[in-house]
């Protein structure tokens, strides 16, 4: 019989087989044992600059989304009585945009992720943790800076670590910011390097899905959370309590709704409106000087007013080119406009016109002391740069009024015989413009 002696122990083939069976059974028991602390899934989804929708082809989003959907379904299978699938979600933007825009796009990114998760997993009612009162993940910026090869990164790290996000004087006036110091560092060189190498990794949503108790879900709804993975927060109806796994209380506070405020960037004016000046180059081509002003109201509406006046005359040659009038138009832009930037994109509107004219080019002439019009417009404003754009507009509407036809005087310079009076009743194209637009104000958006 085959035997082998090792360290004083005798192993026979029968004993070896018995030990193998026991090892398999023990291993299966460990693997099949219920997990008292179910796992969780955590991923980051990245966004293209200025975008809030999720692009699977961008960076490693496709693999992250696949992992998120698969693990989320596994968590649902592990779900026990008294537990529900909850979502920790925080979205961020890179700092080069205006504060108002970054807070807005951060919210849009969270909503985009929620909609995508409901679509991919079929789980409705995922609980979202309240957002932090910042649009940029400065801790991630510091971590990426430390690992980067950016020149003068130590100076940038000093700013990130030591300069407050916003600095106010004793009267509460904003006098400085972390972003401003980074932009000015080394004449903007460091900022441009970070824009290329760091900022693409700051535009992300951090998604963590776990199984939570009803008390933890209520805490999530009220924004109670802590950074320690072993920390759990609950809501008792009046206050949040966050505890570590060994039941040590790390935080307790009454619930007070926190309203997120968006400080204005340093150097910008407190101006909720955007103002731009314009001139219709079609009028300029026919020697009718004109000027217009557009005032944006909110994110999509604007009010536009313009005046035109030409008073060219040559009495000896009986040539007159006289136009005076104005237009008022209310516009609606089909795309949401960014704060601090020139209005741009497709727009529709309603307009009204009043004008008078006198035209004679050496022969019979026409004269109107009062005409009017109203109609609907459609146009597109094409950006040329941060401050300049071209606005293409066509309008269709009704034009009414009375004009006189007269002949060249035969009884003196100021004697113009009337031939007939004409009542104008016209419906059709009544407005056309190709306007050069100059946006005023401090444009601080990206």
CB contact at 8 A, 424 and 400: yes
Taking only the tens place, the pLDDT of each residue in 117-171 is: 777 766 655 555 545 667 899 999 999 999 999 999 999 999 999 999 888 888 8
Architecture per CATH, domain 274-439, reads as Beta Barrel (2.40)
DSSP reduced 3-state for 215: helix
**Following DSSP, what letter does each residue of 398-431 receive, concatenated?**
EEEEEEEEE---SS-TT---EEEEEEEEEEEEEE
**Whole-structure pTM over 0.85, yes or no?**
no
CB contact at 8 A, 99 and 106: no
The full set of domain ranges for the chain reads: 1-33, 40-137+202-254, 274-439
- How many residues does the structure list for the chain? 446
The helix, strand and coil proportions of the chain, stated in percent and rounded to the nearest 5, come to 25, 40, 35
Q: In angstroms, how far is the first alpha carbon of the chain from the final one?
A: 84
303's tokens: 């009010």
CB contact at 8 A, 209 and 39: no
**Given 3.20.20.70, 3.40.50.1010, 3.40.190.10, 3.30.1330.60, which CATH number is that of 40-137+202-254?**
3.30.1330.60
Tens of pLDDT along the chain (446 residues)? 334 433 444 445 555 444 444 444 444 333 333 344 445 678 899 999 988 888 888 998 888 888 888 887 777 777 666 677 777 788 899 998 888 888 888 888 888 887 887 777 666 555 555 456 678 999 999 999 999 999 999 999 999 999 998 888 888 888 889 999 999 999 889 999 999 999 999 999 988 877 777 777 676 666 666 655 566 676 666 677 777 654 444 344 333 333 334 444 433 444 446 789 999 999 999 999 999 999 988 778 899 999 999 888 777 667 788 889 999 999 999 887 765 566 788 999 999 999 988 888 777 888 888 899 999 999 999 988 778 899 999 999 999 988 888 777 666 556 666 677 888 889 999 999 999 999 885 443 43
Estimate to the nearest angstrom the gap between the alpha carbon of 389 and the chain centroid: 20
120's tokens: 């991919």
d(CA 386, CA 440): 10
Taking only the tens place, the pLDDT of each residue in 269-282 is: 444 467 899 999 99
396's tokens: 């269709």
Closest CA to 72 of 208, 178, 255, 186: 208
29's tokens: 């028991």
Q: How many CB atoms lie within 10 A of CB 29?
A: 9
Estimate to the nearest angstrom the gap between the alpha carbon of 135 and the chain centroid: 12
130's tokens: 């309240």
């Amino acid at each position: 019989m085959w035997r082998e002696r090792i360290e004083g122990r005798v192993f026979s083939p029968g004993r070896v087989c018995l030990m193998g069976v026991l090892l398999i059974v023990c291993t299966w028991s460990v693997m099949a044992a219920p997990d008292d602390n179910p796992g969780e899934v955590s991923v980051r989804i990245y966004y293209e600059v200025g975008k809030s929708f999720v692009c699977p082809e961008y960076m490693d989003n496709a693999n992250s989304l696949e992992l998120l959907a698969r693990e989320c379904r596994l968590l649902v299978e592990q779900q026990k009585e008294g537990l529900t699938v909850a979502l920790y979600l925080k979205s961020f933007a890179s700092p080069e945009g205006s504060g108002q825009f970054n807070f807005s796009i951060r919210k849009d990114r969270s909503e985009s992720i929620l909609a995508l998760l409901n679509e991919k997993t079929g789980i409705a009612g995922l609980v979202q943790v309240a957002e932090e009162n910042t649009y940029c993940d400065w801790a991630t910026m510091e971590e990426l800076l430390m690992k980067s090869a950016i020149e003068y990164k130590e100076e940038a790290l000093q700013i990130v670590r030591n300069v407050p996000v916003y600095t106010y004087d004793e009267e509460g006036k904003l006098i400085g910011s972390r972003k401003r110091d980074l932009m000015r560092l080394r004449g903007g060189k460091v900022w441009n390097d970070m824009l290329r190498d760091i900022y693409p990794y700051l535009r992300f949503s951090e998604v963590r899905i776990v199984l939570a108790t009803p008390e933890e879900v209520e805490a999530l709804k009220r924004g109670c959370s802590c950074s320690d993975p072993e920390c759990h927060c609950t809501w008792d109806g009046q206050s949040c309590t966050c505890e570590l796994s060994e039941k040590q209380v790390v935080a307790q506070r009454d619930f007070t709704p926190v309203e997120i405020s968006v400080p204005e960037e340093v150097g910008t004016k407190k101006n909720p409106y955007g103002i731009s000046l314009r001139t219709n180059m079609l009028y300029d081509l026919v020697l009718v000087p004109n000027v217009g002003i557009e005032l944006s109201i909110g994110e999509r509406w604007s009010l536009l007013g313009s005046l035109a006046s030409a008073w060219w005359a040559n009495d000896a040659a009986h040539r007159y080119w006289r136009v005076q009038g104005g237009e008022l138009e209310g516009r609606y832009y089909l795309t949401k406009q960014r704060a601090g930037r020139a209005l741009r994109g497709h727009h529709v509107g309603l307009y009204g016109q009043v004008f008078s004219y006198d035209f004679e080019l050496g022969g019979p002439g026409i004269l109107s002391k009062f005409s009017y019009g109203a109609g609907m417009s459609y146009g597109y404003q094409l950006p040329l740069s941060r401050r300049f754009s071209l606005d293409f507009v066509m309008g269709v509407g009704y034009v009414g009024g009375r004009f006189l036809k007269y002949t060249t005087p035969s009884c003196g310079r100021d004697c113009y015989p009337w031939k007939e009076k004409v009542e104008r009743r016209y419906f059709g194209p009544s407005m056309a413009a190709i306007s050069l637009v100059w946006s005023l104000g401090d444009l601080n958006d990206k």
